[in-house]
Amino acid sequence: MKYIAFVFLALTLIFSQNSFSQTESPRGKVGLVFSFSGFNLSGGVGAKYWMSSATAVRLNFHGSYSKNSNNNYSTSSASVALGEENHFKVTNGVSPYVGVSLGYTRRIYASSFSNEFDANGFVGVEFWVYKSVTLSGEQGFLATYSKYSTDSFYSLDVSTSTSSLLLSVYF
Is the four-CA dihedral 148, 153, 157, 162 of positive or negative sign? negative
In this predicted structure, the answer to whether residue 97 has a pLDDT above a threshold of 90 is: yes
Nearest CA to 76 out of 66, 84, 68 is that of 66
Q: Whole-model pTM?
A: 0.78
Please give the pLDDT value at position 2: 55
Q: Which fold has domain 2-170?
A: Porin (2.40.160)
> How would DSSP label each residue in 93-129?
SEEEEEEEEEEEEEEE-SS-EEEEEEEEEEEEEEEEE
Nearest CA to 165 out of 131, 132, 130, 122 is that of 122
pLDDT 10s digits, 124-161: 999 999 888 999 999 999 999 998 887 777 888 888 76
Is the four-CA dihedral 39, 42, 45, 48 of positive or negative sign? negative
Banded model confidence at residue 1, pLDDT cuts 50, 70, 90: low
For residues 140 and 97, what is the distance between their CA atoms, to the nearest angstrom? 12
Please give the pLDDT value at position 18: 42
